[in-house]
Amino acid sequence: MYGAAQCGVCLCICKPKKLVEAHQLNAQDDVEDKPEDGFLKACALIRSNLHIDPTAGSAEDFAAYYAQAVWLENWRLKRQAEMIAALFTPKDK
């Protein structure tokens, strides 16, 4: 049993929630990242862009996945910037 917590109406028995703050990555640009943050951010980039588990293969596979994910992210950002520029550029008639 994980413990009991009262919700005011009944006696609820549930698992304690994990602290999200303990697992957050550094989002500030002016603060230096911890070494493990770089690996976690690379894994997140690979998972989001390639939809694969980055830890399933070898270190060489990880490097290839990371290069592909970075290229894809840059390509998407460039296309998005072009689209936004086209939307807000006045059209001559």
Q: What is the mean pLDDT of the chain?
A: 77
> DSSP for 2-36?
--EEE-SSSEEE-PPPP-GGGGPPP--SSSPPPHH
pLDDT in tens, 7-22: 444 444 555 455 555 5
What pLDDT digit, counting tens, does each position of 25-40 carry? 666 655 666 766 788 8
Residue 47 pLDDT level (bands cut at 50, 70, 90):
very high
Residue-level pLDDT at 92: 78
Determine the pLDDT at residue 90.
86
pLDDT at 93 over 90: no
Q: 10 Å Cβ neighbour count for 45?
A: 18
Q: Is the pTM of this model over 0.75?
A: no
pLDDT above 50: residue 80: yes
